[in-house]
Amino acid sequence: MHWDFALILIFLATAVPLLGRRRIRQLMRMPETTKRDRLRLYASTVAFQWVAAAVVLWRANAHQIALARLGVAIPKPELTAIVSVVLAALVLANQLVSLRHLATHPAEAQGVLPQLALKIFPQDTVERVAFSAVVVTVTICEELIYRGFVQRVFEDWSGGLILAGIFGSAAMFAVAHLYQGKRGLLTTCVVGILFAAIRTWTGSLLAPLIAHFIADITAGLLAPSRLRSALSSVVTAAATTNLISMR
């Protein structure tokens, strides 16, 4: 493995999760976030992601790795189109079911991730536009970095072993989301395996990219109102219980 590739992998496996956990701790210590806080968070995320993707492309190009080998191509158009539609539909259905589940189980809105979501998800039109730019950025950059670069590096490093690329990229992708806790880590790893397998099958990042975008944009635009409604239900239920217990 080239020394610069090794440094990139080390950075992704150590610095990225540490920076993420530090940012989350700062946010969780805040009683609430302001519009300025959220927009600043969006801007820093966009800048960091594009710089990381630029470095990856720079070093890949320096070693004459073609974009097609990173998944930036559609070698099997018909297969890619079918898989993209099916995967997108499954991801959208899963998000909608999860949101509906939240509405019927409001107590789950009191967890760490829901509380974090309320602090970082957009709350007005301007923030929704900015958040959409973040989603586009994260979708493109993370797919390029993890399903493109990292998967290729692990596969080449193992002598062409496809499973090494799939599980290596999934593991790195999961570690980058360490701040989500054990459950989030496992979920992200499973998603990483699925996306990496599809990237290998189709030879393209297109299907994972579309699915990634749908997952993030639906969560960011639809979850806030559901979370606030769920929390309101919890508070109302708690108040009712207190009144009954006082009688």
Answer whether residue 246 is part of any domain.
no
pLDDT tier at 136 (50, 70, 90 boundaries)?
Answer: very high
Which pLDDT does position 241 carry in this prediction? 33
Domain presence at residue 237:
no
Residue 211 lies in a domain: yes
- Give the chain's domain count: 1
Residue 113, pLDDT above cutoff 80 = no
243 within some domain: no
In a domain, 120, yes or no: yes
How confident is the model over 69-92, as pLDDT tens digits?
999 999 999 999 999 999 999 999
Which pTM was predicted? Answer: 0.87
For 24, 44, 115, 118, 121, the CA distances from 34, given in Å and listed in that order, are 15, 16, 15, 11, 11
Q: What is the pLDDT of residues 6-43, one digit of tens each?
A: 999 999 999 999 998 888 888 888 888 999 999 999 99
pLDDT the model gives residue 234: 40
Highest mean pLDDT out of 100-104, 178-182, 184-188: 184-188
How is the chain split among helix, strand and coil, in percent rounded to 5?
A: 85, 0, 15
Does some domain include residue 37?
yes
Q: Residue 35's CB: how many other CB atoms inside 10 A?
A: 13
Indicate the helix (H) or strand (E) that contains 239: helix 206-246
- In angstroms, the CA 96 to CA 174 distance is 23
Element (H, E) at 247: none
56 is written with which tokens?
């990856």
Q: Tell me which residue range forms the domain holding 158.
A: 3-231
Q: How many other CB atoms are there within 10 angstroms of residue 2's CB atom?
A: 14
Position 240 in a domain: no
pLDDT of residue 229: 67
Region 114-134: mean pLDDT is 89
Per the domain annotation, does 239 fall within a domain?
Answer: no
